[in-house]
Amino acid sequence: MGSILTEQRERSIDASQWASGNQIERDLVLTDADFARIRELIYQRAGIVLAEHKREMVYSRLAKRLRHHNMTRFTDYLVRLERQPEAKEWEAFTNALTTNLTAFFREAHHFPLLAEHIRNKPGPVTIWCSAASTGEEPYSLAMTLLETLGPKAAQSKVIATDIDTDALSKARMGIYPLEQVRKLDEARVKRFFQKGTGQQQGLARIRPEVSELVEFLPLNLLAPQWPVKGPFDAVFCRNIMIYFDKETQAKILKRFAPLMKPEGLLFAGHSENFSYISDAFKLRGQTVYTRA
Ligand SMILES: C[S@@+](CC[C@H](N)C(=O)[O-])C[C@H]1O[C@@H](n2cnc3c(N)ncnc32)[C@H](O)[C@@H]1O
């Protein structure tokens, strides 16, 4: 419930900034044709379906890119982008249009379910976090490995991937505002974070014991090849499928199945239902799926 509200709040912040008209100057020209082209390009590139009402969000997020290039018309930006299929700007374009909302132990009921699943595994555990964003989710998974497996967790691994390279850079740094970290149990804060001092006051860093278990890699779920191998004990694919259409979701789910151990678990976000999309998985309950 909390995350639904936060997701809605994020959307309305974009909208209200626009509506107020004071915080974002409307000095750049975004035509209907530009907006339609942007929607097409981000769909082709990342599978993200941008609804009609996202126009203001698109304006505010891509405005930074236009200003960076001293441009005032989205048309010019798009022409330049499309003329250079290999340009680095494609990465910035994609990063600008992703939504990275996340939190430590978001949708908290999943973590005890994961702990139960891995507790008595004989060998090392491997988890794929397929929309890792700025790192809070994969670090929460690594903390769960440490809490559940103790010293044996050192042989286990969380592979954390995302299309957004800026989000991954933040994730690799593993530094978060203390106010965000303070929402966790006191025991977790003490065990898994180092509080900053001096210039780092107000920040907390993930301890190496946790970060050593996580490997970050760029990965577009639409790409024909994925640089991850499996077999995974669990795949986390939460709050990303909502941005894709059913066809894209079905293709991705079909590719997840062979990468998972037969008894592996697939974790979905609170508003994501895979039952009607793919027969590769069946619902176990509480937005957790097993291979069919
Ligand atoms: C809302 S965040 C969800 C983060 C986290 N899984 C959670 O539930 O808190 C969605 C993430 O999906 C990523 N994403 C969007 N399209 C993607 C794609 N085609 N391939 C991989 N990641 C993608 C975005 O960059 C973003 O970080």
Per-residue pLDDT tens listing for the chain (292 residues): 334 334 444 434 344 344 444 444 579 999 999 999 999 999 999 999 999 999 999 999 999 999 999 999 999 999 999 999 999 999 999 999 999 999 999 999 999 999 999 999 988 999 999 999 999 999 999 999 999 999 999 999 999 999 999 999 999 999 999 999 999 999 999 999 999 999 999 999 999 999 999 999 999 999 999 999 999 999 999 999 999 999 999 999 999 999 999 999 999 999 999 988 989 999 999 999 999 8
Which of 54, 71, 96 is the last residue before a domain boundary? 96
Give yes or no: residues 172 and 248 share one domain: yes
Question: What gap in Å lies between CA 7 and CA 164, rounded to an integer?
Answer: 18
Residue 162 is among the residues annotated as catalytic for this protein? yes
CATH code, domain with 23: 1.10.155.10
Q: Which pLDDT belongs to residue 275?
A: 87
Instruction: Say how many domains are in the chain.
Output: 2
Q: Can you name the residues that pair with 29 across neighbouring β-strands?
A: 73
Give yes or no: residues 141 and 281 share one domain: yes
Which of 96, 121, 146 is the last residue before a domain boundary? 96
Q: Biggest alpha carbon distance in the chain?
A: 61
Q: Which pLDDT belongs to residue 26?
A: 78
Taking CA atoms, 262 is separated from 51, 112, 232, in Å, by 37, 20, 9
Residue 103 covered by a domain: no
Q: Which pLDDT belongs to residue 25?
A: 52
Give yes or no: residues 74 and 157 share one domain: no
Give yes or no: residues 132 and 262 share one domain: yes
Pocket test for ligand 1, best of 7, 44, 225, 240 (most atoms within 8 A of CB): 240
As for ligand 1, residues whose beta carbon falls within 6 Å of it are 46-48, 98-102, 106, 131, 133, 137, 162-164, 167, 219-222, 238-240, 243, 269
Q: Which pLDDT belongs to residue 14?
A: 41
Residue 266 covered by a domain: yes
Positive or negative torsion for Cα 292, 159, 173, 147: positive
Pocket test for ligand 1, best of 98, 214, 235 (most atoms within 8 A of CB): 98
Give yes or no: residues 135 and 273 share one domain: yes
Give yes or no: residues 85 and 122 share one domain: no
Q: Which pLDDT belongs to residue 21?
A: 40
Question: What gap in Å lies between CA 39 and CA 249, rounded to an integer?
Answer: 18
Give yes or no: residues 117 and 239 share one domain: yes
Positive or negative torsion for Cα 173, 161, 269, 150: negative
Sheet strands side by side (includes 193-195) = 175-177, 203-206, 193-195
User: Which residue range forms the structural domain that includes residue 219?
Assistant: 110-291
Q: Which pLDDT belongs to residue 132?
A: 98
Give yes or no: residues 48 and 124 share one domain: no
Give yes or no: residues 116 and 143 share one domain: yes
- Tell if the pTM clears 0.95, that is, is over it: no
Which of 56, 73, 96 is the last residue before a domain boundary? 96
Give yes or no: residues 153 and 193 share one domain: yes
